[in-house]
Amino acid sequence: MRRAVVVLLTLLLLLTTLASAWAEDSTYGAATSSEADHYQNMVLLPYPFYNDTIGAGIGVAAIAEGYLQSQTMTVGSGLFSIDGNGMVFLMARNHRLPFFERMFIEPTLSAGKFQDMQIYTVGNPKYPNEIPGSNDSNKNNYRESDAEDYWADLNFKLLLPIGHGKDNLLPSYTLVDGIPTDGHPGGHSWNPWQSGRTFLETEFFYRNQELDEEELSDQETMGIEMALSWDNTDFYPNPSKGSFWRVFGARDWGALSSSPTWTIVGGEVSKYIDLGASESARQRTLALNFWTVDSPTWNSSHTEAGEDVYHRPPSYKGANLGGLWRLRGFPATRFRDRSAVHYSAEYRHTLNWNPLKEYTMGGHLDIDWIQLVGFGDLGRVADEWKLDTLHEDMKWTAGVGARVMVNRLVVRVDVAASDEDVITQLFISHPWPKR
């Protein structure tokens, strides 16, 4: 059942992609551009890496631009560590559905195998009276298990005919070495009817963590997330001004036998302040983000085989902090509860200096800039969504990072410290907003 879900989602993605490619050739491509004008580029790039979850090893990334559809970017990657961990990853962005020019599909597929994964769940005999993952929990209150992790997301984004999305289905930019120069109107107004691009999103998600430890239950979920998002930034992959907000709700109706029903609601807001250029920087940006989530079904339950089963999302969904995106100085899902808030601030310093610009791999590789980043995170989980509770005894991280834009894709390495650990993370895209 579990792998069948992934297979079905993959087949749906494949059929949609093939249909979209045919629609591009028959409807859009001939009417809008010639073959010579249609930019296509593909690069295969091996690289060394280190990540606290996977370890040290080697990765291979493939970045394809303009294939199937002129505006589509597809990224695939495989990571394999000397510790025996590994994962493969595939995503596509800005892929338009056939015969429906306002609808885009953005799929993400991943599969991984990990040894000694830390699971913050009950059962550690050293902490019998403590809730693992809670704000006051001990960092060593976890269980370990080898795990296989499969997940698939299919996000359908409907561009609403308001603001800049009314007449411009695809944003156009004039880029000079990865930075827009055409005065895109991001940030000119807080009114979605006048500015920005507004999307109604429907995401079908599936994920399963199969744990080898017999005493631990697999974490499996399948459901739908609905969201309304507004992008009013000047350049979405690397904003320097404007704002972004998103409100969302997700539901698992318990379609899988091992998954209870659950609901989460939440939202986030990002603001970008352009600090201008300097002697050493082409661009300087102050980036701010606020994120919050709550699970209203957290305390509801039903009885199954004589035991209470609570309607709570798995640890990787809902109110969790730690890992790639939030409280980066803690391991993934280090904190988890019913509710959470998180604040983050980054100073992004895009250097004039770029010694990698000349490494083009025969014209297929384009490294536009190198960016230095300083950041801080502040957050907290709690057993209720209450402002005063969520802002007491908050956890913090501080760190530095280096980022590069490779073929219009941001690649980041962040090193973050907390009062518990120092964590190194390597991934694609800025940590927020949700990509």
CATH code, domain with 66: 2.40.160.50
- pLDDT tier at 29, thresholds 50, 70, 90: very low
Task: Quote the pLDDT of residue 374.
Answer: 98
Classify residue 435: in a domain, yes or no.
no
- pLDDT tier at 22, thresholds 50, 70, 90: very low
Q: Strands (DSSP E) along 276-408, which ranges?
A: 281-294, 301-304, 307-310, 319-321, 335-337, 339-351, 367-382, 395-406
**Residues sharing a CB contact under 8 Å with residue 362, sequence separation 6 or more, in sequence order:** none
Q: How large is the greatest C-alpha to C-alpha distance in the chain, in angstroms?
A: 69
> Residue 391 pLDDT more than 70?
yes
> Residue 254 pLDDT more than 80?
yes
* Token reading at 196: 């920005």
**Per mean pLDDT, which range of 7-16, 20-29, 43-52, 201-210 is the poorest?**
20-29
Classify residue 108: in a domain, yes or no.
yes
Task: Quote the pLDDT of residue 397.
Answer: 98
Can you tell me the distance from the alpha carbon of 377 to that of 342, in angstroms, rounded to the nearest whole number? 7
Mean of pLDDT values over 281-288: 97
Can you tell me the distance from the alpha carbon of 95 to that of 107, in angstroms, rounded to the nearest whole number? 9
Classify residue 45: in a domain, yes or no.
yes
Classify residue 434: in a domain, yes or no.
no
* Token reading at 14: 């494949």
State which residues form the domain around 401: 2-428
Mean of pLDDT values over 256-265: 85
Residue by residue, DSSP assigns 184-223 as: --TTS-S-TTTSSEEEEEEEEEEEEEEE--TTS--EEEEE
Can you tell me the distance from the alpha carbon of 15 to that of 23, in angstroms, rounded to the nearest whole number? 12
Q: Residue 116's closest CA among 81, 149, 147?
A: 147
Contact 348, 270 (CB under 8 A): no
* Token reading at 80: 């394999």
**Residues sharing a CB contact under 8 Å with residue 355, sequence separation 6 or more, in sequence order:** none
Task: Quote the pLDDT of residue 33.
Answer: 34
* Token reading at 182: 């055409």
Can you tell me the distance from the alpha carbon of 126 to that of 279, in angstroms, rounded to the nearest whole number? 55
> Residue 4 pLDDT more than 90?
no
Q: Residue 79's closest CA among 43, 106, 116, 114?
A: 114
Task: Quote the pLDDT of residue 15.
Answer: 42
Can you tell me the distance from the alpha carbon of 433 to that of 298, in angstroms, rounded to the nearest whole number? 25
Task: Quote the pLDDT of residue 185.
Answer: 57
Cα end-to-end distance, the chain, whole Å:
28
> Residue 71 pLDDT more than 60?
yes
Task: Tell me the whole-structure pTM to 2 decimals.
Answer: 0.89
> Residue 26 pLDDT more than 80?
no
Task: Quote the pLDDT of residue 319.
Answer: 97
Question: Percent of the chain scored above 70 by pLDDT?
Answer: 89
Classify residue 179: in a domain, yes or no.
yes
Question: How many other CB atoms are there within 10 angstroms of residue 435's CB atom?
Answer: 16
* Token reading at 186: 């991001």
Sign of CA dihedral 282, 405, 35, 156: negative
Q: Total domain count for the chain?
A: 1
Classify residue 23: in a domain, yes or no.
yes
* Token reading at 235: 């350049």
- pLDDT tier at 186, thresholds 50, 70, 90: low
Classify residue 433: in a domain, yes or no.
no
* Token reading at 154: 């299919």
Angle made by CA atoms 398, 400, 403, in degrees to the nearest 5? 140
Containing 324, the helix (H) or strand (E) segment is none
- Average pLDDT in the chain: 87
The CA-atom distances, in angstroms, between 308 and each of 142, 256, 260, 312 are 22, 18, 11, 12
Residue 163 is classified by DSSP as: G
Angle made by CA atoms 394, 396, 400, in degrees to the nearest 5? 165
Task: Quote the pLDDT of residue 184.
Answer: 59
| pLDDT tens, position by position, 86-117 | 999 999 998 888 788 899 999 999 999 999 89
* Token reading at 261: 């029903």
Can you tell me the distance from the alpha carbon of 101 to that of 272, in angstroms, rounded to the nearest whole number? 29
> Residue 419 pLDDT more than 70?
yes
Can you tell me the distance from the alpha carbon of 433 to that of 240, in angstroms, rounded to the nearest whole number? 13
> Residue 174 pLDDT more than 90?
no
**Residues sharing a CB contact under 8 Å with residue 377, sequence separation 6 or more, in sequence order:** 326, 327, 328, 329, 342, 343, 344, 396, 397, 398, 416
Task: Quote the pLDDT of residue 10.
Answer: 47
- pLDDT tier at 435, thresholds 50, 70, 90: low
Classify residue 148: in a domain, yes or no.
yes
Q: 């079905």: which residue's tokens?
A: 8
